[in-house]
Each structure stands twice: as C-alpha cells, then as structure tokens.
Amino acid sequence: MKNPLRVDEMLNPHVSVDCVVLGFDGEHLKVLLVKQTGHEESGYYNNMKLPGSLIYNDEDLDEAAQRVLYELTGLNELHLIQFRAFGSKNRTNNPKDIKWLERFHQLNQKVERIVTITYLTMVKIDKKLTHLSDRYEACWTDIDALCPLAFDHNQIIGEALWFVRQYVQTQPAALFDLLPKRFTAAELRTLYETIYDRKFDVRNFHKRIAQMKYVLPLEEFQTGVAHRAARYYKFDRKLYNKLHGMGKSFSPDEHNEIY
C-alpha cells in the first residue's frame, strides 16, 4: 500500500475517492467514519468524514479506493462498488474543509473544485471490524444519528442508501453480507426495516422468509435470553446463485403482503 503522505507533486488536486462502508450490528445500520485529524489544538479540524483522499496520478480509481480504506481504517480487500460521482461547485465551499485537506496532504497549491468518485461496500460488524485503525479514529456511527459531516458527505451517504435500496431489489444477496452466519428472523426483519426505512408486518415477514428458498432454518435456537428463544437461520449462497440464475429475486416492494 502507498504512503498517504507522498510528495504533493504526485497528487491530483482535482479528483478524490470517498468510501461508504455500511455495517449492521443486529439492531442498527451504521456507517464507518474517520476524523479530520491534524492541528486539533486550533479547534478547526475535528469534523467526521467518510474515508477518502485525493488520488495519486499513478493509481487507478479502484486502487485508490482500496488504499484509502486500508490506510484510514486498516480494512483490506473489500468488495467495492463504484456508485456515483459528485462534482458540485459547492463541494469545496467550506474553508475549514479545504484548509484541512491542504494541510493533511501537505499541498503547496490551492485546492479548488474537486470531483469525487464514491464507492460502496456492505459488511457485517464482527470482531475483526471492531479493531479498526486508530490513527484516524475510525468509528462506526448510526445512520440515524449522523452529525453534519465534512464536505458533502451527508449527501453522499444519503445517495448511497438510495443506491442500496435499488440494488438489493435485484441483488438481495447483498443484504446477507450484513448479517452473521447465523441470524434470527427478527434480525433479518430489522435489517429490511432499516434499509427501507419502514415497518414490516411480523407475521407476513415470517411467511416471506418461508418462501425464500435460500434462507434455511436451523435446528439451533437462542440461549440465555429472557424471551422465547428464536430459531436461527442461515443464508445458502450456492442455492441463491442457482435460483437467482433462474431469475428468482425478492424485494419487499414486489410483495405487498409483507407489510
């Protein structure tokens, strides 16, 4: 991986990449953020932001996105989907953001308009993903509890959620990347409710799970819980690939009875 502080002559001051990493902890959808580090004593560089960076002139966009995630979070070799470019002239309106960017990259030139290429990945928050790089204070933040972020990163996250809702209608397997290997019906329902920002009827949702041939019930149940122990399920990717190849798919909007 490249050093994030190479000489500024190798940086392209007009193009950047930003990565939206969505995770699910069983109850809440979260996004991975990092802190605008550097010169904290001034009080101007404490905003949170998406993992991102200007690109180097000798790297491809996909390579830059992977580098950013590794350097800012310690995550490596994630499956990234390039989903949109953001190039509004207002992206660099905040002098605080530009001053931070110039100092962070040790630039000797004025940063003006920047076009950013955004990437998306969805992961389950397991033990490995809780030990993130602390160099830039990477942390998971609830989607519904975001503060104002640097640049236009709130807008980027909103567009990422819209993209996910469209994407999983034809690629529902992507949602199971957010779940542990064993999950309950309540966890799956909560995930759908979080993604689609709406409540689903519990009974009808269980009926729909029974119709998802690639979601297999296990002879395993929760233990040590105060309520009735729920059954665990697992996602069968091989069966999903076989069914999906036959044109089978699922999204809540295609089955009104799920509500």
pLDDT of residue 87: 93
Domain residue limits, the chain: 8-170, 180-258
Contact 46, 35 (CB under 8 A): yes
β-bridge partners, 226: none
pLDDT of residue 252: 46
Query: How confident is the model over 176-192, as a mean pLDDT?
Result: 93
Please say if the pLDDT value at position 151 is more than 70: yes
Per-residue pLDDT band at 92 (split at 50, 70, 90)? confident
Rounded CA gap, 132 and 130, in Å?
A: 6
β-bridge partners, 160: none
Rounded CA gap, 258 and 201, in Å?
A: 6
Please say if the pLDDT value at position 166 is more than 60: yes
pLDDT of residue 236: 95
Per-residue pLDDT band at 9 (split at 50, 70, 90)? low
State the chain's mean pLDDT as an integer: 84
Written as six digits, the tokens of 225 are 């819980």
Please say if the pLDDT value at position 83 is more than 60: yes
The pLDDT tens digits of the residues spanning 19-37 come to 999 999 888 899 999 987 6
φ and ψ of 70, to 5 deg: -70, -45
Contact 124, 179 (CB under 8 A): yes
Rounded CA gap, 160 and 136, in Å?
A: 22
**Would you state the CATH architecture of domain 180-258?**
Orthogonal Bundle (1.10)
Q: What one-character DSSP code corresponds to residue 221?
A: E
Percent of the chain past pLDDT 90, that is, above it, reads: 47
Amino acid at 22: L
Per-residue pLDDT band at 128 (split at 50, 70, 90)? low
Query: How confident is the model over 202-207, as a mean pLDDT?
Result: 92
Contact 25, 121 (CB under 8 A): no
pLDDT of residue 138: 85
pLDDT of residue 142: 94
Instruction: Compute the CA torsion angle 116, 120, 121, 125 (nearest 10 deg).
Output: 80
Per-residue pLDDT band at 238 (split at 50, 70, 90)? very high
Rounded CA gap, 195 and 168, in Å?
A: 10
Per-residue pLDDT band at 246 (split at 50, 70, 90)? low
Assigned CATH for 8-170: 3.90.79.10
